[in-house]
Amino acid sequence: MDTVWVDELDGETAESVRALLRAARDTDGRPELPEQGLPGEFRGGSHLLATADGELVGCAHLDATGDAFGRQVAELIVHPRRRRGGAGTAMVRELVDRTGDRLRVWAHGDHPGAVRLAEHAGFTRARELLVLRVADAGGADWPEPSPPPGVRLRPFVPGQDEQALVEVNARAFDWHPEQGRMTVADLRATEGQDWFDPAGFFLAEDTGGKLLGFHWTKIHPANPNRFDGRPAGEVYVVGVDPGAQGGGLGRALTLAGLRYLRERGLGQVILYVEGDNAPAVAVYRRLGFTEYEVDVQYER
């Protein structure tokens, strides 16, 4: 087996990586793939490619810029037909040699193979990202949102709201390893994705037009190996400026998005929440969400 680091994928290699990710998705339900190209978590950075007999058997992506706390973060996938053959171990070794001890590696769905690999390589669980779900959104009791006095909800306007949104996002998520780093360029790039819909992007502002918070929803197409093979709406990001927290604005924004997704005909709604964020988990459970799966970051 051979491994090589590549900073920029040519067209043919990118297609090989996409084919590997598709095979993993068809077996595991993850990762999600856009209609063209690679998922966002596999763009930029550096790629570690593992080949055997001329075939791509594994790929790791390293975000060398690191998260908000300076830790380098990797995604690692081995082709389902080539698992338990040493490719994962070889790639983890290469990742450690390149990064040292400031490394975290995602295990989406906490796959049993990833658990074994992490233990063998001396990694420990450092972060749990819960995936919660309401399986029957049509039967959920979600009342009309009631924003605080003097606050109105409206849709996001592309070309107008980016800067204010990014500023509120940075304050709301200054503690978060990834979300708080979003830039205007990042937001505009996402607006070009096929799933982006400003009608499902709710902003809360006061009478003076000051942005106080937002709820960004997302719609996932049906995945035969995940979420019962049905399309799913997602509570993608809910952010409230720290100065506006505590008055029920977060709940109002959440309800606005949940009702929007239900009106769009989505029979189920999912969300991701940090496992140690007990207050947020409690709020979502009261809205009918239950645990579906967990994503884990392992670290040295």
Mark the binding-site residues for acetyl-CoA, compressed into ranges: 76-78, 238-240, 245-251
| Binding region | 35, 76-78, 178, 218, 234, 238-240, 245-251, 272
Phi and psi at residue 296, to the nearest 5°: -125, 140
Measured distance CA(88)–CA(223) in Å, rounded: 25
Based on the number of CB atoms within 10 Å of its own CB, is 13 exposed (0-12), middle (13-18) or buried (19 or more)? Answer: middle
Query: What six digits make up the tokens of 5?
Result: 């680091």
CB atoms within 10 A of CB 234: 22
- Give me the amino acid identity at 62: L
Q: Among positive and negative, which fits the CA dihedral 21, 220, 286, 211? A: positive
Secondary structure of residue 170 in the 3-state scheme: helix
User: Residue 70: is it exposed, middle or buried by C-beta count within 10 angstroms (0-12/13-18/19+)?
Assistant: exposed
